[in-house]
Every structure is written in structure tokens, then in C-alpha cells.
Chains A and B, each alone.
Chain A
Amino acid sequence: SQQGEEDPQALSIQEGENATMNCSYKTSINNLQWYRQNSGRGLVHLILIRSNEREKHSGRLRVTLDTSKKSSSLLITASRAADTASYFCATDDNTDKLIFGTGTRLQVFP
């Protein structure tokens, strides 16, 4: 079963703009992770945020987690054409496996 739902499904922006993607999930979690997938490739891990953390940064990425609302957001600042990809959130669902959302397809135009 799908745990996470990303919003929006697709997002198009110009280079230099910020991109915000949201993820909602259904059950309690131990951690939430964000991954990027370039077309036809495997997934690349971006950030892991634990349930007791509220915000985490990595370079141009900022992730927030609101466990009361069961939601997370991924912000990419000063986007580049190379950021064009699909972005997925994944949660552990308090089980032994990562459950992925449906993804946000980000297109960054030069």
C-alpha cells in the first residue's frame, strides 16, 4: 500500500526559483526520507529526517517534518536545470521497510 502522497504531482519552474514539494503520510513513523530519481535511473538519497527532528538542511535542500500533521516538505532553493527529476518521500511506516510516495515531477527550465 502507498504510504506517502506527494503534492504537487508535477511542478515547472524557472532556474533560480525555489521549488517546494510536500509529502503527506498516514501512520506514525520513525523517520522520513527524500530521494531523487532522474529519468530512467535509480534513486539517490537526499535527506533523512527523524521523527524527533523538525527541520534539516543539506546544501540547497531544506526539509521540514510536522508529525502532528503527518506531513513533510522539501524545499530546493535557487533551482538549477540539473535539479530536473522526480522527487519521492519514503517512510518506514513503523515497519521494516521503506514505503514510497507517488512522487513529484520537477521540471526546471533554463
Chain B
Amino acid sequence: NAGVMQNPRHLVRRRGQEARLRCSPMKGHSHVYWYRQLPEEGLKFMVYLQKENIIDESGMPKERFSAEFPKEGPSILRIQQVVRGDSAAYFCASSTLGVNTEAFFGQGTRLTVV
């Protein structure tokens, strides 16, 4: 059973371009969380999704950021018109039953905006 897979591991974008980050949860997991981490800081919650539904997006900026978790395929975190401040590590986690169970994390995508 493969773990949570995130790709790409590293992504470089110029200002104004779009960034698409992918996350395939562990098999059997229907709960997906996205977090953002700046160097030397903790993880900041962005969005919580279940299949085809956004459950909680309170941590995600209202503009330029969107997330989806379709019935088939990986969860996607999309950042439009990236700016330098979007540079960070973005982690995805999945779990079987949500917040009361262990969350399994991917290795993250490191986004650099130049």
C-alpha cells in the first residue's frame, strides 16, 4: 500500500504563472487535507476535502487558490497567478475517518516562485 504521493516534489514558477500540485491519498482514504509550511515554521491548515466535496476551506486564501478532490484521480491544489509570497512547501495528508484518526502525510511539494 503506497503512502500518500505528492507530485511534483519541486516546482519552479515565474510570477503570474499557474501552479498545480497533485496529491494521491493512500488507498482507502477518502479524507484529504492540504497544509502550507514556510521555512522554520509549523504547518498552516488550508483546506479539507472529501471525495467531490470541499468540507472546510477556511485556511485557503479566497483569491487565486482553489482545491478539488474528484471522484477519480488525485486531489489538486491550484494556485493561479503565483506571487513570490506563495513560495513554500505544500503538504497533503490523508486519513480514513477524518480528524480523529492518524493522518498520513506526503513528502510535500516545494514551490519556488521566481
Contact = CB atoms under 8 A, between A and B. Distances in A.
A49 to B, nearest CB: 12
A43 B108 CA distance: 9
Interface string B86-114: 00000101000011111111111000000
Interface string A64-100: 0000000000000000000000001000100111111
Interface of A: 2, 30-31, 33, 35, 41-45, 48, 88, 92, 95-103
A99 B35 CA distance: 10
A14 B43 CA distance: 28
Nearest to B106: A42
Nearest to B35: A100
Given A96-B99, A97-B33, A97-B99, A42 B43 contact: no
